Structure 1
Amino acid sequence: MKISLNGMAKALLITIFSSVILIPTAYANNPLPTIKADAPNRYTVKKGDTLWDISGRYLDSPWRWKEIWATNKQIKNPNLIYPNDILILCVIQGKTLIGVDTGEGCAGVEKQLTGNMVASSVTITSTANSIPAIPMTAIQHWLDKTIIVNPKDFNTTPYVLASKTRNLITASGDKIYAKGVPLIVGQRYGVYREGEMYVDPRTQKIIGLEVTQVATGLATNVASNGVTSLQLTDSYDKEVREGDRVFVELDNAIPPVFYPTPATVNRGGMIVRVMDSISSAARGSVVAINLGSIHGAKPGDVLTVYQKGPLVRDTIDNDTPVRLPSEPTGMVMVFNTFDDISYAYVLSSELPLNVGDQLLPPPYL
């Protein structure tokens, strides 16, 4: 079973925008991000803070936070910050930077930045309890058990035929039977529930199928007629139903830490679904977008959301209809990617965000 949607990549040659949108890879000649006029000189990191919120305290363009971050060269994960860390604004070599106060003030931050510290080896720091980029509780469901697959592949996998008790299965320890390609005895398998089918709003092409893992089981026997017996070892808040699909658990590995950064996708995109909602998205919502790994999307990518301008009539020019320019209305950050689709968290929204809203990398200047 493949998680990829490579077979449908050619269907996406028609992109949302007529031109390819790229952001520059070299910013050496650009000025540093603008520090907010009311940015604090000192800030004590609190439990519940997020990297995005902290960046927003200091910067007018929080997605550019890394450009003013004084990283400690002696730390393997220099961008990690923790509750009770004290962040300070310092002017170092003519540049305003943010660093973690180690007790020596800006002099200590400068030592970290320049590497003039008495340390012979790199310190390994744990990601545990560090400040996340965005609230993990808001995205956990879409990280753990929900994935996007190729619908054609999904429909060829074995399916749950029945249970030993002929009832719904709700707990580990129960036995189910799967029909289809015989499974390997002793192998762990996931049981997946079919969900939302994704269609690109512009091309009307199917670009993926959302499925949710409802259980895990161990193949214990394969009968002569090809029916496989599975003992359920774990269930995930949902019953197993007849017709659910069975295949090897897919590795939905997410980086242990990801940081907001301007997206470097190779084209523009659109919001294709507002998760857990039939209407609009706001700050803190999760949306699905039609930009995936084949378009260069990766966890941490920040994109600006634009809403199409309204159609107005030019009363001076015989009531000719004129479309007003699209305006930025919010920002999203990608946190999980598949071939053609990604899940993204809404970082900000001036207006409700809707299916069909356009996505572009944030302006650098």
Structure 2
Amino acid sequence: MTAFTSIRRNALGALTILAGATLCTLSAHAQSYPVSGSQRATAQQVSERGIPLSELAPNAPDSYTVKRGDTLWGISGLFLKSPWRWPELWGMNLQAIANPHRIFPGQTLYLDKNGGFARLSTTPPGSTEPETVRVSPRTRTESLGDAALPTLKPHLIEPFLVEPIVVDAQVLQQAPRIIATTEERVLMAAGDRAYVRGDQASPLQVEGGDPRQFRVFRDAVALKDPATGEILGYEAQYLGKAELIRGESFEDVPNGRGNYTAEYVPATIDLKATKEEIRAGDRLLPMAARGAFVTYTPRAPQMDVEARVVALYGSAALAYAAQNQVVAISVGTQDGVEPGHVLTLLTRDTRVKDVSDGKSASVKLPNENNGTAMVFRTFERVSYALLLEIRNGVRVGDRLVNPK
């Protein structure tokens, strides 16, 4: 085996791997991340001449070698003032990279500044040689799909794809409830066995087609629009996961008179994982189907958005949310909001007394840009957004608007 493996991109953009005397073709289509028509149009427009130098980040490097763990968002932030404008980054490199998600560790991106405009390329300015990437020795034939860069680091979002749930209060009230555990414990954790009573109309059964995996929730807290006080939905507090072992049933029990009486027996569950301690009265909802993590494509909404932070996810005791935390906002699918939409956070309205002239008049201060959030999960009237870049703590009532 040679001391290194070389990956070379040919004129058609195909990837091949050269390992000693063996030539193998790499499958570069294992993953297909979405690229919208508007994003492609933006990229094509920019590719004609590049972007103005004024749109570059102040410390944009002349070149950058992609590393494992990088994200499209992070690389965009190196070169552009606004990372969500990644289609423009792609447009700067449209000739070399047909899909912006097909950037791999080891590739070097070069910044070419000419005539007041900038472009990115996978070859040094003035060079026509195809790109060569050196990587460590690996299996001679492999898929590069899993090595392609995600937009954001998956671990920031994946836990929240199943945790927050917005329901009608009645849905949770009618869901199966935990009534007891073994040894009469008050609090339960992962590994404990518990007993559950379902709705009379649809008792819990272990039969083909019925769910066996459940999530455990508590309460249904109203999510209110800070501006109007209107209830937008109810957020159930996620507690953990459970597996249904035995369904509800009736058992014939001797009644002492030589006869038997049919007596109700609750369903049995095992708690598989717990985020917080579980107790009697907590409710079960079927585990939602969960596919593989999908890369989000940050982009500006096409319609006008005016939203407010309605809750900080995780604890009612939180007063401020920080970077990489999650907030619920007052817009959802009925407003046209989609996963990947990027919004600018503004500070909440603040008033001060102007005592400079001795009159103490109340003056409203301007709403300041406080960072960026990206929507990643939507419900009808509420969405959850990840705080990407935050200058100060985010509070309930802070505004979110279209990025400028």
More strand by share: 2
The alignment covers a number of residue pairs equal to 325
Deviation readout 1:86-140 (Å, 9 max, x if unpaired): 22235799974335459x967759xxxxxxxxxxxxx9852x3443333333334
Alignment of 1:124-143 (within 5 A): 126=145, 128-143=146-161
The alignment's TM-score, normalised by the length of structure 1, stands at 0.73
Check if 1:158 corresponds to 2:176: yes
Distance across 2 between alignment mates of 1:176 and 1:135: 38
Distance across 1 between alignment mates of 2:350 and 2:128: 47
Alignment of 1:186-205 (within 5 A): 186=207, 187=210, 188-194=212-218, 197=221, 198-205=223-230
Letter in 2 for 1:330: G
Aligned to 1:120: none
Letter in 1 for 2:237: V
Distance across 2 between alignment mates of 1:265 and 1:213: 36
Distance across 2 between alignment mates of 1:132 and 1:49: 8
Q: 1:195 to 1:134 in 2, by over 3 A?
A: farther
Alignment of 1:65-76 (within 5 A): 65-69=86-90, 70-71=93-94
Maintained 8 Å contact 2:217/2:284 = no
Q: 1:334 aligns with which of 366, 375, 384?
A: 375
Distance across 1 between alignment mates of 2:312 and 2:228: 19
Aligned to 1:119: none
How far 1:268 sits from its partner (Å)? 0.7
Maintained 8 Å contact 1:264/1:297 = no
Letter in 2 for 1:338: F
Aligned to 1:302: 342
How far 1:278 sits from its partner (Å)? 1.6
Secondary structure of the corresponding residue to residue 161 of structure 1: strand
Check if 1:183 corresponds to 2:204: yes
Q: 1:37 to 1:205 in 2, by over 3 A?
A: closer
Letter in 1 for 2:216: Y
Deviation readout 1:311-339 (Å, 9 max, x if unpaired): 44385696543323322121111222222
Q: 1:212 aligns with which of 238, 256, 274?
A: 238
Aligned to 1:313: 354
Deviation readout 1:8-31 (Å, 9 max, x if unpaired): xxxxxxxxxxxxxxxx99979999
Q: 2:164 aligns with which of 122, 143, 146?
A: 146
Structure 1 unmatched runs, 5+: 1-23, 110-122
The alignment's TM-score, normalised by the length of structure 2, stands at 0.67
Distance across 1 between alignment mates of 2:127 and 2:238: 49
RMSD over aligned CA atoms reads 3.9
Larger displacement relative to structure 2 (293-302 or 353-362) = 293-302
Q: 1:97 to 1:54 in 2, by over 3 A?
A: same
Secondary structure of the corresponding residue to residue 57 of structure 1: helix
Larger displacement relative to structure 2 (134-143 or 333-342) = 134-143
Aligned to 2:270: 232
Q: 1:274 aligns with which of 312, 327, 348?
A: 312
Structure 2 unmatched runs, 5+: 1-37, 132-141, 251-262
How far 1:274 sits from its partner (Å)? 2.7
Distance across 2 between alignment mates of 1:99 and 1:151: 54
Distance across 2 between alignment mates of 1:268 and 1:58: 29
Secondary structure of the corresponding residue to residue 216 of structure 1: strand
How far 1:242 sits from its partner (Å)? 1.3
Secondary structure of the corresponding residue to residue 56 of structure 1: helix
How far 1:280 sits from its partner (Å)? 1.9
Letter in 1 for 2:272: D
Distance across 2 between alignment mates of 1:236 and 1:106: 56
Q: Which has the higher contact order (CA 8 A, sep 6+)?
A: 1
